Amino acid sequence: MTTVIEARNLGKSYGKFRALDGISFEIPLGRIVGVIGANGAGKTTMLNAILGLTRYDGELKVMGKNPSTNRAKLMEDVCFISDVATLPRWMKVAQVLDYVESVHPKFDREVALDYLSRTTVPLDKKVRKLSKGMITQTHLAVIMAIDAKLLVLDEPTLGLDIIFRKGFYASLLEEYFDKHRTIVVTTHQVEEIEHILTDAMFIRDGEMVVYETMDDLAMRFCQVLVDQEDAGKARALDPIFEQKAFGKVNFVYNGVDKNKLKKLGDIKRVGLADLFVAYMTGGKR
């Protein structure tokens, strides 16, 4: 299996502040990895290192290349969308396509035009006249028209309404992603991307605390809603998190025998957002 990103002891400091604290991981081809963490956890710093936008400690290879020394060549196979990345506001949409076509060897204008034809984005309007949703659709059209192996998304739908957000991820799945591409995405809207992820990575205070496939997480973690009179029995099985809910107590478990848990109540899958909260709050609450 081809490895797209390989990090060994990846670190980054800003003075005395350690934004990334020696994390190691591999991301293979054909995966959609959600990088999840609180503000300031180190997510964007990690993505910037992958994209060759910041210096770092440790070893890092992206598509077999050093992103610091081979960024120009690397970006032929990597695309990036960020909430803070803006298209040239003085250009018309058609001129944006003209420009990308002139500078990127793997851009297919017809693919971009086909996608835009199914939106309300006008080709003859300047970017500054577009809504934020239209700008994101234009950016997505450009990205999907580039035959890249890695797509990095940093809060790509921040500030968009739910219709645009749903449409954005649907387009990625239906028209862009395949086994020959890898997507790495960060977002605070965890529930909206959970269904598209193949893997999840949790980062806390610059450290990686979880990196597993979604299937493995579903096998390892579960939750049980328990009557309050049975809460003591539930605590005896060492939950990693508990929270009162609707007059009962919800417990989250890691690797506990499910036959034991069945005696307490119905076992349910833990949503990625709830699992993230369990980790980020340090366990029991």
Task: pLDDT tens for the chain, 285 residues: list them.
Answer: 489 999 999 999 988 888 999 999 999 999 999 999 888 888 999 999 999 999 999 999 999 999 999 998 888 889 888 765 578 889 999 999 999 999 888 999 999 999 899 889 999 999 999 988 888 889 888 988 998 899 998 888 877 788 888 888 888 888 888 888 999 999 888 888 899 999 999 999 999 999 999 999 999 999 999 998 888 999 999 999 998 888 889 999 999 998 899 888 889 999 999 899 888 875 544
Tell me the residue type at 165: R
Cα radius of gyration rounded to whole Å, the chain: 21
Distance CA 202, CA 206 (A): 10
Picking from 91, 35, 28, 14, the residue whose alpha carbon sits closest to that of residue 207 is 35
